[in-house]
Structure 1
């Protein structure tokens, strides 16, 4: 009887230690407090015992929260730590951090039951072999852990081979995958191949197709019917398939519905754009219709009401709306307003002349060049002051 009592007390103590989160030395944390991880084995069958062990392991060795560990344990069944330990060890050996391992296990817990040298290592080595750096591989696989569960021969290699056939250079393939890791699991036969073939039939040059795949890879992985609809809309608006802006417009249409486009046109209309002017802006920079209503409203309010720019002027150079109001638009316009007032620049100066150049170029051409004539000009620019306060500052 005493032996039974002692055994039960030891079991309760073990559960209590698990609840308080005193982890092993090779775990993720030293101490972790859990709100509800009462793992009692008193009335559990074999299946529940396996799940309880898995929950404890996921918390103690993989850093998952109690809730995540319970959910993940439903996809696992193991009572010994040798296999999951070998998975965690291999990932650490290949540059994965504790937090990255936690994320992978939370999303793909079944990987803890695999043979890491047969399932994981070949994929890690494959990505390195085509040009991904040692730091790239963990980041890409963590952002899309399903890649580790995909077949190397049937999925990963064919998809990357197809990307290489389109982009022609390994460097561009690497860049594309780094931008959108989820482009890989898609079977290219279902979307990418017919989508790209449609562009070729319309006369889109290789450079434009490569630009679309490299910069907007998610656009070419959507269903072919949706992609074809976007292509049709762009053609109807008069875009030239031989120009890069044609594919930029396509990706914009894949992200916006007709009703949303009409809503954006109405918003621009409130700032003096007719539908024709709005379409002119769209043709110059299709992504101007993807900006948030708040971003559009703030930028247009400043440019129209405070800078007195005409709607046509903005539509001819819609790129200006994309820039940060606080970090770029207001500081640069503040400088130009001062220079205009002093007659140091032409009154018909195009906005693209001072809004598009990089920081160094703008400073050289419009600030440093005139700092002897206007001593406070640099301070005004750096302070990012609003136009209403410029008079006393200079």
Structure 2
């Protein structure tokens, strides 16, 4: 009986000792888990934050805009693991290529892999041994971006340059082609030759081909069978001869950028356009072929600002005068409409007349008058785009300028300070005054008899 009690007591004591050790071990582990583990992420977060600050400071020092830094660093986390010293060396090499600041920022944002120091070191040595007359910094930018994306080494690039030279192009043309279409580096000589044979086949001379490649190097990227020949057949379908087509291509090589069916749509639009005769004569002043391409350029311009193609054609249909304005002038008007007047670009569908009026003489003066009256509280209602553009000059003057003398100088015309210049010298009317003849008694008598006969 005593043996059983002692054994049970021993087991109880052993269990208590084991439990105490286990609790002590658990308490040590828990104290370690709550004391040491959270410290590591905090230190790592601090180190990443410091690294981001260092990167931002470095990029700003070399001209990177501060407004783009946060978005750029958040998308390219691999830069946090890079060496700051090597990044600085990479930026120094990029600046040594004399790439314009805006183009350099665009290159880094679009292809951040070009900051690789070993990659740039290899290309720096390659360009130092490379002799190409008329090579531009923009060409170097295109080469760096293309070579990084497709893992092209300098030797392959130099071989492509030799291929272009072998086709008879001068260094200036080679530079323009690589700058505008760096994908030519990935093409072989036979593919390029086929594009050149297409141009020669429609009667474009050698100097004309050189002009096409300088002005629109992206032409080399189009397929002959699936793009260029069907486009040529489309031109011929509307009755244009090969001579007219080749002459227009030499004048404006971007004609080759038209999609299949696009020219047909533009030309049918012009042939059914209803407008005043002077406007139509101005549109077709350089021929029907060129007029169709001009319509295409304006449709593309409107589509870049958010309109669909159907809406763009609707705007041109309602306001044919906009076809007479240059594309740069249309872009200027739309930029002013969006950023200064705070209207949506889709307002052009409702008020297409905005594109047909003069920017300097009508849009700006009227906008200044309305903004001045709005700031002074002189408007009892909101003046929209329609109320700004559609009224005639005299009506707008009577509504918003005449009652407020302060607006006269802003508006200009019809104001008291502006004197209308006479079209003819003073007294010139006297030369055109009809000569008076003396009336005799017989003439008076005949006139009276004639009037009495009418009564």
Higher helix content, 1 or 2: 2
Output aligned runs, 1:67-146, within 5 Å: 67-70=74-77, 73=78, 86-95=89-98, 103-111=106-114, 115-116=118-119, 119-125=122-128, 129-133=132-136, 135-136=137-138, 139-141=141-143, 146=148
Whether contact under 8 Å (1:176, 1:214) holds in the other structure is: yes
Is residue 53 of structure 2 the alignment partner of residue 22 of structure 1? yes
Tell which has more relative contact order, 1 or 2 (C-alpha 8 A, sep 6+): 1
Partner of 1:211 in structure 2?
211
CA distance 1:319–1:219, shift in 2 (3 Å): farther
User: Aligned residues, how many?
Assistant: 291
Whether contact under 8 Å (1:199, 1:209) holds in the other structure is: yes
CA distance 1:197–1:151, shift in 2 (3 Å): farther
Give, in whole Å, the separation in 1 of the partners of 2:359 and 2:36. Answer: 77
Give, in whole Å, the separation in 1 of the partners of 2:166 and 2:235. Answer: 26
Give, in whole Å, the separation in 2 of the partners of 1:242 and 1:65. Answer: 46
CA distance 1:303–1:15, shift in 2 (3 Å): closer
Output aligned runs, 1:278-289, within 5 Å: 281-284=287-290, 287-289=293-295
Give, in whole Å, the separation in 2 of the partners of 1:10 and 1:149. Answer: 38
Partner of 1:194 in structure 2?
194
Per-residue CA shift, 1:355-381, capped at 9, x if unaligned? xxxxxxxxxxxxxxxxxxxxxxxxxxx
Whether contact under 8 Å (2:176, 2:217) holds in the other structure is: no
Give, in whole Å, the separation in 1 of the partners of 2:154 and 2:285. Answer: 45
Is residue 313 of structure 2 the alignment partner of residue 324 of structure 1? no
SS at match of 1:132: coil
Partner of 1:290 in structure 2?
296
Partner of 1:380 in structure 2?
none
CA distance 1:279–1:301, shift in 2 (3 Å): same
Question: 2:261 is matched with which residue: 233, 258, 261?
Answer: 258
Q: Output the TM-score relative to the length of structure 2.
A: 0.47
CA distance 1:100–1:216, shift in 2 (3 Å): closer
Give, in whole Å, the separation in 1 of the partners of 2:130 and 2:291. Answer: 35
Give, in whole Å, the separation in 2 of the partners of 1:113 and 1:291. Answer: 40
Q: Output the TM-score relative to the length of structure 1.
A: 0.53
Structure 1 residue 218: Cα displacement: 0.8
CA distance 1:149–1:81, shift in 2 (3 Å): farther
Give, in whole Å, the separation in 2 of the partners of 1:193 and 1:119. Answer: 31
Per-residue CA shift, 1:246-271, capped at 9, x if unaligned? 45577425423315632553256233
Whether contact under 8 Å (2:99, 2:138) holds in the other structure is: no
- Unaligned segments of structure 2, at least 5 residues: 1-30, 303-311, 334-355, 362-409, 422-455
CA distance 1:332–1:9, shift in 2 (3 Å): closer
Output aligned runs, 1:305-320, within 5 Å: none
Larger Rg: 2
Is residue 176 of structure 2 the alignment partner of residue 169 of structure 1? no
Partner of 1:151 in structure 2?
153
Whether contact under 8 Å (2:86, 2:117) holds in the other structure is: yes
Give, in whole Å, the separation in 2 of the partners of 1:109 and 1:320. Answer: 40
Whether contact under 8 Å (1:249, 1:286) holds in the other structure is: no
Structure 1 residue 196: Cα displacement: 0.8
Give, in whole Å, the separation in 1 of the partners of 2:187 and 2:105. Answer: 28
- Unaligned segments of structure 1, at least 5 residues: 31-58, 305-317, 335-382
CA distance 1:280–1:28, shift in 2 (3 Å): closer
Give, in whole Å, the separation in 2 of the partners of 1:82 and 1:301. Answer: 59
Structure 1 residue 216: Cα displacement: 1.2
